Amino acid sequence: MKKVLVIGGGPSGLMAAIAAARAGAQTTVLEAGAKPGRKLLLTGNGRCNLTNLNERIASMYDSSDPEFARAMVRSVLSRFGVQDTLDFFRQEGLLTCVEHQTYVYPVTGQSGSVLEILLRTLQALKVKMKYSEEVIEIERRDPAPGSEENTCLWNVRTKTWNYEADSVILCCGSRAVPSTGSNGSGYELCRMLGLDVTDVLPGLTAVSCRLPAPEARAYVPGSRNKNSAAQEMKNMEDPFYAAAGTRTQAVVSVLSDGEVIAQERGQLQFTQQDLSGIVVFNLSRTVVRALHQGHDVTISLDLLPDHTEDQVDILIQSMREKYDGISEEKILCGLVPSRMIPAVLALCELTGNRLAYILKHFTLKASRLREFDSAQVCVGGVRTTELNPDTLECVSEDLKGIYLAGELIDIDGPCGGYNLQWAWSSGYTAGLHAAQ
């Protein structure tokens, strides 16, 4: 019977162990923490958005090698896709429901149910679960030349024990929210094996922003806005201060060195230093890559996406004609949430642009990367080209029997259940092949 070791008891590791055990392997999971699935419990605000019914799911993932990665995702999802995932959970007794047309959650509304179902399945399959076992080294054990000995190929060392295995599946996660156990040690194990690991950055985060170009800061406020909202903003050194708490619909564009590189529409939220909301989280993957490459990154908000700039201009003009001497603040009260008015006026004054232009191009500078603590996933990881896209086994001859799954691989998806689907699909694929 083949011996399979799974390193990491998160969603990808638990699914890998189920697939390996179902395929007949003697399977053990080594988990560094005292409990499995700590990040899984946090998902979907504790409700676990476990997959997404988007028919074009494979095109939603990103990577440093996007073409190769998408081919890998397509191949892996063709073996164990969204429907297989839903069937798996249903057969194990978990019912799901759909929100926002495509987001799938357990009907219980509790991520704990998903974890419970996985652990129950593992127990029935007699998978050994070893907790507080952090893997620190993986070594190849080549039999002595001429030896007839039929030994396991891999030796896996934790702080307390040595485990032997024919196949090892690394499912150690990323560096996002390290307190859940995914603290980046998986990347170190992969580097020790000689695998190429890209730079790893926090993804799916809010985006910290500040006033736009330095020349805008140096702009001397003109006379058109006597209440000097801009001065107030400057004093606060933060354009969001007044707008904090506002939620509004917008088309959000990410510009790198002045060129639009990504765009999405949705509800965004202002906090005191950040832009937040699902739309911003999704775009943050592009922002961090561009900032990391040293580009000048700006975020432009179209705050009135259903109206053209001309239409907005005409409406503003008609208000000025109808109400003689009306202040810009009063004009804006029908166009943007009240807390945003000072920020809009400040940007008009600082840049010298018209109100209608600012409402359609509310532009801020993306200032810095957020911390791993506040990231839902990581951008980057072990290069996809290190792996066979059909089996997720390492392509190097020296690493036969080593498989990877989950977020450790340089593939990340947007919000909406895509990252867990990658964990289920890649875990299942690696587990199945590792057992064969």
Footprint of ligand FAD on this chain (CB under 6 A)?
7-13, 30-33, 38-40, 42-44, 48-49, 134-135, 171-173, 176-177, 181-182, 185-186, 376-377, 406-407, 417-420, 423
**Least Cβ distance, residue 293 to ligand FAD (angstroms):** 24
CB nearer ligand FAD, residue 186 or residue 389: 186
- Other Cβ atoms within 10 Å of 258 Cβ, number: 8
Tokens representing 270 are: 């202002």
CA distance 45 to 61: 22
Pairing of strands 167-170, 3-7: parallel
CB nearer ligand FAD, residue 30 or residue 346: 30
CA distance 427 to 424: 5
**Least Cβ distance, residue 384 to ligand FAD (angstroms):** 15
What 3-state DSSP class applies to 402? strand
CB nearer ligand FAD, residue 363 or residue 376: 376
**Least Cβ distance, residue 252 to ligand FAD (angstroms):** 21
Pairing of strands 3-7, 135-140: unpaired
Helix (H) or strand (E) holding 367: strand 362-368
What 3-state DSSP class applies to 263? strand
| Radius of gyration, alpha carbons of the chain | 26
CA distance 420 to 337: 35
**Least Cβ distance, residue 239 to ligand FAD (angstroms):** 27
CA-CA-CA-CA dihedral for 364, 369, 374, 380, to nearest 10: 120
Q: Is 268 left (phi over 0), alpha (psi -120 to 50) or beta?
A: beta
**Least Cβ distance, residue 90 to ligand FAD (angstroms):** 18
CB nearer ligand FAD, residue 38 or residue 433: 38
**Least Cβ distance, residue 269 to ligand FAD (angstroms):** 16
Amino acid symbol at 318? S
Amino acid symbol at 378? C
What's the half-sphere exposure (Cβ side, CA atoms, 13 Å) at 159?
7
Tokens representing 408 are: 């450790």
**Least Cβ distance, residue 113 to ligand FAD (angstroms):** 14
CB nearer ligand FAD, residue 49 or residue 391: 49
Torsion sign (Cα): 121, 127, 130, 135: negative
CB nearer ligand FAD, residue 10 or residue 277: 10
Helix (H) or strand (E) holding 103: strand 103-106
**Least Cβ distance, residue 426 to ligand FAD (angstroms):** 8
**Least Cβ distance, residue 66 to ligand FAD (angstroms):** 18
CB nearer ligand FAD, residue 8 or residue 401: 8
For residues 26 and 398, the answer to whether their CB atoms sit within 8 Å is no
**Least Cβ distance, residue 427 to ligand FAD (angstroms):** 7
β-sheet with 135-140: strand ranges across: 135-140, 154-158, 162-165
**Least Cβ distance, residue 36 to ligand FAD (angstroms):** 6
CB nearer ligand FAD, residue 347 or residue 423: 423
CA distance 50 to 28: 24
Helix (H) or strand (E) holding 425: helix 418-435
CB nearer ligand FAD, residue 28 or residue 419: 419
Nearest residue to 399 via CA among 195, 162, 104, 259 = 195
CB nearer ligand FAD, residue 74 or residue 130: 130
CB nearer ligand FAD, residue 349 or residue 412: 412
